[in-house]
Structure 1
Amino acid sequence: MKLQRIGDHGAERPIVVDGEHAYDLCPLTTDIDGDFLTAGGIDAVGAALAAGRLTRIDVTGQRIGAPVARPQAVWCIGMNYAAHAAESGAAPPEAPVVFFKTPNTVVGPYDDVLIPRDSRKTDWEVELAVVIGKRARYLDSAEAALNHVAGYTMSNDVSERAFQLEQSGGQWSKGKCCETFNPLGPALVPRDRLDPRDLRLRSWVNGEARQDSSTADLIFDVGYLVWHLSQYAVLEPGDIINTGTPAGVALSGRYPYLRDGDVVEVEIEGIGRARQRCRNAVSASEPSPPAAVRV
């Protein structure tokens, strides 16, 4: 069972995909958002699906949007794989490195990524993304924290390294918050349908392999991250946590940075595969998602 949102940008509707078939969720909810998650929406979908109360629909040719609408916050964890920390020239952190992306960076998993004006070092980063399902505040343990997770999806934490590291003034967000810099999806997989402890995650640029690792190599795992963040802030339903990226990005010096026309593909076992084409932001008045992609 995987939850998705399909349709034109800004007019997505919720569906659930079970095996080879898709089912309309509009009788249960208007969207997949914080309110839906707070109300136990995922359990309601599972029950309706099991009871045969959902209508099968044909979604061929529909655009796939981000699987969660309007997150309040996009939390990001830096250098959470030791090999990536090393290629970045840093020692593995002793505590999670935290930064933010603005929620309006979130786009669909097949939407274009816009290369910012004056960019020299736009980079890719495949990441397991955690979706918060229940308000998390001063949680007692990493084990208890998992009960506040709705499920998992995938992010491409696109970054402009010159903005992030050379023009930052000590903060990373200048290189993280450009428009389209957080393609999300293609699906939200409920917590009880996916074990996040050993998932293979990979990326490609123009068909050439870049990253290939496993979430088993995370320095700080999902439960710890949710617990840790709850000691400093209140996590709300629908919030996204990008858990970090493995080695194999352009920052390593082994690969060129992204340019207009490049195609990035990212994949996480059990979640799916996504694909984004890079375009120059100056040639686009606003992000324009493709007219049709395959569900």
Structure 2
Amino acid sequence: MSVLEIVVRTVSALAAFLVLPLLVGQTEHKVMAHMQGRLGPMYAGGFHGWAQLVADGVKFVQKEDITPRAADRWVFRLAPAVALVPYLLAIAAIPVMPGVAAAPVPASAVLVLAVVGIGILGTLMAGWASANKYALVGAMRAAAQLLSYELPMVLAVASVCIAAGTLSLDTIVGAWHWWWLGWQLPGAVVFLVGAVAELQRPPFDMPVADSEIVFGPYTEYTGLRFAFFLLSEYAGIVVMSLLFAVLYLGGWHGPFADQVGWLWTALKGFVVAVVVIWLRVAWPRLREDQLQRLAWLVLVPLAVAQLVLTGVVVVVHP
């Protein structure tokens, strides 16, 4: 790989990382505004509320950056970056067309799952370093949630990898067939629910339950540091949506895939992102016991059943 190609891939990954989460945030503004009748996000700035995102950005920039006196300063300040950077690595490893990824690696499915799991460390660091009891409770809830939902997600992805006979996302899309939509549907549901829980999005937002623990691990954060945590949430939606599109929806498969395959990947990921946003508006928050029961009594058995089914089908029809 030449130096020029490395530079192009790096710039492309950074551009996608900076632009796509903002687009998801703007989409969330619009979807929630239409579903809940909110006037601001629909009309702020004129044409369909285009200035709402700009107004939010200005608001975060002008707010004072405060570090609590009792906080562990270095850990407190580093936490937002630890929560955000892993998603940059994950985006770089997800292919949008055959052989087109910012950082093509042989076992990209394993890499993406591994680095996404690192992001929770930022939340734990924020909760611990804030010297706030509500922040610490939120961080502990986030850790328990990660442990519960990481397992069914990994099992669901393992099923797709077994079906395709590879750990490479690029090769998985190459081996994908339309009939996988039915065959891998239980695993797809498990992955989507697990992804929403990993992102701590409603209805799985117990770590940041404002009616119970203020705002969980992010209670003491202000200004740009708080904005970085929000950006990491939207970046996580982008990563999980694109990963879902690649694993279960065929990625770049579609009409004229050789020319506009990247567009098919983006559109499929966008549809998944809208579903994630819709869940925030449509479903109430679960209780902590309901969260754990769903993970261990429903998703894990369903993921194991999907894995067994895939193994049997692969053995019978190799």
Could you tell me the TM-score, scaled by structure 1's length? 0.27
Query: What is the TM-score with the length of structure 2 in the denominator?
Result: 0.26
Which structure carries more strand by proportion? 1
Q: Which has the higher contact order (CA 8 A, sep 6+)?
A: 1
Instruction: Compare CA radii of gyration and give the structure with the larger one.
Output: 2
More helix by share: 2
